Amino acid sequence: MTRLTGRVQKVRDELEQLLDDDDDMADLYLSRKLAGASSPLSGSGAPNWYPASPTIGSKISRASRASLTIRGDENDVEELEMLLEAYFMQIDGTLNKLTTLREYIDDTEDYINIQLDNHRNQLIQLELFLSSGTVCLSIYSLVAAIFGMNIPYSWNEDHPYMFKWVVIVAGAFCAFLFLVIVSYARHKGLVGS
């Protein structure tokens, strides 16, 4: 796309440069050069190749080229100019279509990036929920592991229901801690409502 746009831009610039320079327009009218090449330069009968040759023609001074242009028919240059302007308009239209297509591609890329950012944010929210849940469960597991060891406790013999209450209270505390973390994240705007 970029290479095509660059090529079209180069052609457009060259056509614009040709349309701006009247000397180049006169040199481009090949019918006049062909008619001038068939007419003799002098009585010797040698053809006039000088105006048709780009290397020798470029060495001719601007004044002599201007005099050749004045001698030629101005309608011929106008026909060539109209033809080049038609091509210029087509190339300019193609360049505008390519520019519009490039903008459409850029807008589509931006839209896709917005969607990817949205999905990335949803994954980060899920990771926040999972991480806070893991922290709360690890605290609960730590409490249950400490009190679930096979170490003889003196209070365990008198109150056998104490282990169950400690596990229930630790579970309730961890659930409360999870809810506090989630509500704090919603309050700060880290998680959508």
Q: What is the pLDDT of residues 69-94, one digit of tens each?
A: 444 555 667 777 888 888 889 988 99
Q: Is residue 75 part of a domain?
A: no
Q: Do residues 80 and 28 lie in contact, with contact meaning Cβ atoms separated by under 8 Å?
A: yes
In a domain, 128, yes or no: yes
Backbone angles phi, psi at 47, to 5 degrees: -70, 155
Residue 13 lies in a domain: no
pLDDT in tens, 138-153: 988 888 788 777 667 6
d(CA 84, CA 28): 11
pLDDT of 99 reads 92
Question: Is 143 within a domain?
Answer: yes
Percent of the chain with pLDDT over 90: 24
Each residue's pLDDT tens digit, 34-82: 766 655 444 444 444 444 444 433 433 343 444 444 445 556 677 778 8
Q: State the pLDDT confidence band at 179, using cuts at 50, 70 and 90.
A: very high
Whether residue 68 is contained in a domain is answered as no
Say what the pLDDT of residue 51 is: 46
Evaluate whether residue 154 is within a structural domain.
yes
Give the domain range for residue 147.
118-188
- Note the pLDDT of residue 173: 92
What sections of the chain are H helices per DSSP?
Answer: 2-20, 22-28, 30-38, 54-59, 62-71, 74-147, 154-158, 162-187
What's the total number of domains in the chain? 1
pLDDT confidence of residue 102: 92
pLDDT, tens digit, 9 for 90 and up, residues 156-166? 677 767 778 88
Residue 107 lies in a domain: no
Kindly report which listed range (15-19, 127-131, 146-150) carries the lowest average pLDDT score.
146-150
Q: Compute the distance between CA of residue 93 and CA of residue 87 in angstroms, rounded to an integer.
A: 10
